């Protein structure tokens, strides 16, 4: 089996797994209990918080553990804690559904939601954000109750967004800034101070940590309401007994990935080239989507005249796991909102797949993926029959 869907999830780091074990079997005490048996778990959480903070240049008090990216995103979008509260949300058109659907929920509760357009590479336009922030006579009052949220890197096409510039623009007009960095943390160098963000979401299973755990960075002084009512965990902000083993595993996985960022990037770019070279050598026509500044290993490829869903299943039969760019239902392919936002036409969008390589992939696996695509695209007897499609 060749696993090339690392943007969906990643394999657990072996050292992270080893570090977790003791907190499941031996040192399983509830970290909130005062007796000495629980001290090790409490200490482990505190060390994990420090390690994670160091990895993104934050302070430990600014890290709040959550159940993952979706929870971190929802916490910021839905449960804002300004005295006046957030009445306006501005997000990019290509956010993950954890943001888009949280915004829809807020919209039903009376919050206005506006979308920053992106260019054909998926880059959110800073000038368009400015237009949204400066419109109308009430702009200053509007901005005071506005939260801008733009993802650091897109999950479908890998595009890295100009977060520093977007955050500066939001702050210039008095708005708050959040970034969903789920696809970036553990893969790109992250410095929250340099980025200038108020909030940042991350998820461990995207960087070789365990599933069901993540964190939210909240800049000191940036207000946010507690997520849950209950115990005093996470400084009273996120009640509930901590997932000690997973928190420890997350910190270890992040530390290990951050230590090898450059090495991994060089390797992944090489693997991308191998796949593209195989396709080019065999004259396979394709379009590579996204920006040249992208998450290493994330390849969104479109093959005109083909169904992404069918490509996925053919590759699956050959033992290769990838993702589609658009999802099929029984009648009609649902074009992804990201591909729509970058202006891709329907035919090309339908033939889109995402290959996301990870640090465990090898050069020979990249060759195999390329050759498998050549074989499938070359023997194109099952190419989409466009005549019978709905328009």
Q: What does residue 273 show for φ and ψ, rounded to 5 degrees?
A: -60, -40
What is the footprint of ligand PLP within residues 39-68 (CB under 6 A)? 68
Near ligand PLP by CB under 6 A, which window of 10-18, 80-88, 180-188, 366-374?
A: 180-188
103 is catalytic: no
CB of 321 to ligand PLP, least distance (A): 15
- Of 33-41, 179-187, 336-344, 374-382, the window that binds ligand PLP (rule: CB under 6 A) is 179-187
CB-CB contact of 107 with 135 (8 Å): no
The minimum distance between CB 199 and ligand PLP, in angstroms, equals 13
CB of 33 to ligand PLP, least distance (A): 28
State which residue has the least CB distance to ligand PLP. 69
Residue 96 binding ligand PLP, by CB under 6 A: yes
* 98 part of the interface to ligand PLP, by CB under 6 A: yes
Q: Which of 183, 233, 243, 352 binds ligand PLP (CB under 6 A)?
A: 183
Q: Per rule CB under 6 A, is residue 180 in the interface with ligand PLP? A: yes
Least distance in angstroms from the C-beta of 161 to ligand PLP:
11
155 binds ligand PLP (CB under 6 A): yes
**Rule CB under 6 A: is residue 74 a binding residue for ligand PLP?**
no
Binding flag, residue 243, ligand PLP (CB under 6 A): no
Binding of ligand PLP at residue 256 (CB under 6 A)?
Answer: no
Q: Which is nearer to ligand PLP, 145 or 323 (CB)?
A: 323
Taking the C-alpha atoms of residue 145 and residue 165, their distance in angstroms, rounded to an integer, is 20
Confirm or reject binding of residue 295 to ligand PLP (CB under 6 A).
no
End-to-end CA distance of the chain: 37
Q: Interface with ligand PLP by CB under 6 A: which range of 177-185, 259-267, 270-278, 367-375?
A: 177-185
Beta carbons within 10 angstroms of residue 276's beta carbon:
17
Token digits of residue 82: 């300004």
Residue 287's CB is within 10 A of a number of other CB atoms, namely 13
- 188, 158 contact by CB (below 8 A): no
Task: Specify the residue, 202 or 372, whose C-beta has the smaller distance to ligand PLP.
Answer: 202
The yes or no reply on residue 359 touching ligand PLP (CB under 6 A) is: no
Under the phi-then-psi rule, with left for phi > 0, alpha for psi from -120 to 50, and beta for the rest, what region is 103?
Answer: alpha
Question: Quick one: which of 116, 151, 216, 348 contacts ligand PLP (CB under 6 A)?
Answer: 151
* Binding status of residue 10 toward ligand PLP by CB under 6 A: no
Pairing mode of beta strands 298-302, 323-324: unpaired
Looking at 10, 70, 146, 333, which residue binds ligand PLP (CB under 6 A)? Answer: 70
Asked if 186 interacts with ligand PLP (CB under 6 A), we say no
CB nearer to ligand PLP: pick between 93 and 276? 93
Count residues contacting ligand PLP (CB under 6 A)? Answer: 13
The answer to whether 203 contacts ligand PLP (rule: CB under 6 A) is yes
Using CB under 6 A as the binding rule, whether residue 69 contacts ligand PLP is answered as yes
Q: Tokens 């100009």 appear where?
A: 162
In the complex, which residues of this chain contact ligand PLP (CB under 6 A)?
68-70, 73, 96, 98, 151, 155, 180, 182-183, 203, 214
């Amino acid at each position: 089996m060749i696993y090339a869907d690392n943007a969906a999830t990643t394999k657990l780091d072996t050292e992270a797994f080893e570090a977790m074990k003791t907190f499941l079997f031996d040192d399983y005490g509830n970290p909130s209990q005062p007796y000495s048996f629980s001290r090790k778990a409490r200490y482990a959480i505190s060390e994990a918080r420090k390690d994670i903070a160091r990895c993104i240049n934050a302070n430990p008090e600014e890290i709040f553990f959550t159940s993952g990216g979706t929870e971190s995103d929802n916490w910021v979008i839905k449960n804002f804690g300004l005295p006046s509260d957030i009445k306006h949300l501005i997000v990019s058109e290509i956010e993950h559904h954890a943001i888009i659907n949280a915004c829809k929920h807020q919209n039903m509760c009376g919050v206005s939601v506006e979308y920053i357009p992106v260019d054909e590479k998926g880059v959110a336009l800073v000038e368009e954000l400015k237009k949204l922030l400066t419109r109308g006579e009430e702009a200053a009052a509007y901005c005071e109750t506005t939260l801008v949220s733009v993802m650091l890197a897109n999950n479908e096409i890998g595009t890295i967004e100009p977060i520093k510039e977007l955050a500066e623009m939001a702050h210039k007009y008095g708005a708050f800034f959040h970034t969903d960095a789920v696809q970036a943390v553990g893969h790109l160098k992250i410095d929250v101070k340099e980025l200038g963000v108020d909030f940042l979401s991350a998820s461990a299973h995207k960087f070789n940590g365990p599933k069901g755990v993540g964190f939210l960075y909240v800049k000191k002084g940036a207000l946010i309401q507690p997520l849950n009512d209950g115990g005093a965990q996470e400084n009273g902000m996120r009640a509930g007994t901590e997932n000690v083993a997973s928190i420890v595993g997350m910190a270890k996985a992040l530390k290990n990935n951050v230590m090898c960022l450059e090495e991994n990037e060089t390797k992944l770019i090489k693997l991308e080239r191998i796949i593209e070279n195989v396709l080019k050598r065999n004259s396979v026509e394709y379009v590579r989507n996204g920006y040249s500044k992208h998450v290493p290993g994330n390849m969104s490829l479109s093959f005109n005249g083909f169904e992404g869903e069918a490509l996925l299943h053919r590759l699956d039969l050959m033992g290769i796991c990838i993702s589609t760019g658009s999802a099929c239902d029984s009648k009609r392919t649902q074009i992804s909102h990201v591909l729509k936002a970058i202006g891709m036409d329907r035919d090309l969008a339908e033939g889109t797949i995402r290959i996301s390589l990870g640090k465990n992939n090898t050069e020979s696996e990249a060759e195999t993926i390329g050759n498998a695509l050549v074989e499938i695209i070359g023997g194109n007897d099952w190419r989409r029959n466009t005549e019978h499609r709905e328009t």
